[in-house]
Amino acid sequence: MSSIFLCHTSIDKPFVEKLARDLRRIGVNVWFDKWEIKVGDSLTWKIEEGIRENEFLGIVLSPEALKSEWVKSELGAAWSKQMKTRKVFVLPIFYRECEMPYFLSDRKYADFRIDYEHGFSELAGIFGIDETEVITQDNWRKFTRKKKVNWKSFKTKEFEQLVTTLVDRAYEYKWSAWVGGTANEYSISFYCSIKKDDTFIHNYISFKLVGESNAYNASFKKESNPNNLKVSDYEKYIGNSIDACDECLWRFMDDSNSIYGTPTEKPFYFTERFSRGNELHEAAKEMMRRFNWYKGDKL
């Protein structure tokens, strides 16, 4: 298993801790001072041990790091090890704009200055870890232009979580919910009817994961069936997270209930989705395998 000693200055510690956790997640052993040095430990001996025993030293480059005496000391020890072993040991991690040290100027660096996920993918590649292992439920939008990464499965999983969260919210407020089908994928509408003074008041709000941006937009058009809405109807930008949509829905329903009262008609929930391609056939085959004593691959 690959291992790395993260050399950095204290001002960059929040970034370094995130990087350390992400590297651990993909199977890299990380030496991070916050995790390794305990009360009573000798700083000098623990750092020397970390540099000696790890496969790589990642130098997190920033203006403050290049002025730090601790960073200079660690980098000097790492460079000495690289000269003795004649193997690449020092990995430049370009975090914030600064003048690249002369002895690292001809080295390929992982560039985190503009985009974290891009820099992380570059660094992961050093350890033989490709993009398919770097993608997560939180960062899949960064990979939508990558052909070899199955980011669509993460998109589908997120929408599934969105539906569950928002329908639970609608149930709490007695609003109905309707998930879009193949005519309007990744969309969901919420609506209610309130009887007041012998008339019915109807309120509507819909959400959709829109286009190439994969952001959530909202529509307030009077339509309970999301399949009857057009992309252009979703005019209000909400955000890229389930939490943003949940807060928007909660505020909308809470305002409606405060002004008009609690919905008086029984709510309905249409949350089933249509199968795509041969999904139904594959699901049937999986069900048959579950109820078969034979678990080999010959039949």
Nearest by Cα to 219 from 254, 245, 242: 245
Beta bridge partners of 61: 94
Q: What percent of the chain has pLDDT over 70?
A: 91
Q: Average pLDDT in the 22-49 region?
A: 85
- The pLDDT of residue 124: 85
Q: Higher pLDDT residue, 86 or 158?
A: 158
Q: Write down the mean pLDDT value for the chain.
A: 85
pLDDT in tens, 264-299: 888 999 998 766 666 666 767 777 777 777 566 665
pTM of the shown model:
0.60
CA 271 to each of CA 122, 179, 241: distance values in angstroms, whole numbers, following the listed order: 40, 5, 20
Torsion of CA 240, 241, 242, 245, to 10 degrees: -60
How far apart are alpha carbons 159 and 166 in whole angstroms? 10
pLDDT in tens, 114-155: 888 888 888 888 887 766 567 777 777 777 777 777 788 889
- The pLDDT of residue 128: 75
Q: Higher pLDDT residue, 280 or 189?
A: 189
Phi, psi of 270, deg, nearest 5 = -110, 95
What letter would DSSP give residue 266?
P
Residue 130 has, within 13 A of its CA and on its CB side, a CA count of 6
**Residues 188-204, buried b or exposed e (16+ Cβ, 10 A)?**
bbbbbbbeeeeeebebb
